[in-house]
Chains A and B, each alone.
Chain A
Amino acid sequence: DAGVTQSPTHLIKTRGQQVTLRCSPKSGHDTVSWYQQALGQGPQFIFQYYEEEERQRGNFPDRFSGHQFPNYSSELNVNALLLGDSALYLCASSLKLNTEAFFGQGTRLTVV
């Protein structure tokens, strides 16, 4: 049973560029959430997708957008990258509200 998988594992982008990160949820899970984790901090909630719709959004600008596909996989897009967007981006999947969330290994994004 595959867990949550994310790609790529590492990425280097230039300021102003756009990036797309991908996530496949754990088998049987229908909900995908994205988190940003800066160095030395806990993960911060970006948004959650369920039934191909953004269900809840954290305090992130519109440069951060996402998508969920019919097979429940998800993408996180970040436009007009800033140096401050450098972080570990984590995807989590779950099945129901208030249950365990399982995380992928993350994508380390570096903006130069």
Chain B
Amino acid sequence: KQEVTQIPAALSVPEGENLVLNCSFTDSAIYNLQWFRQDPGKGLTSLLLIQSSQREQTSGRLNASLDKSSGRSTLYIAASQPGDSATYLCAVSPLYNFNKFYFGSGTKLNVKP
């Protein structure tokens, strides 16, 4: 069974810093990996989707990389802003059942002004 781990569980940084969030998964037979952000009391907002054949995806200040063989993905946030404060979740879908996402427990990010 796929297990997804996110480290660190919480992160506090001053505004303007570049930061990296980590996601690891135990089964490399994945279909894709998706990064989400969740604001308190809100739903999930999709940030980036990486197909298993891709190495990275970029959107604005966000860059997500995927190393399928080592079971790792990173989310890089450049020039962090207080508005980036949220919980970031990664989710992987198995190759054999791509309609199912396995989620990590998230990294709670606080960007201080």
Partners in one complex: no
B-side residues, CB < 8 A to A, are none
A-side residues, CB < 8 A to B, are none
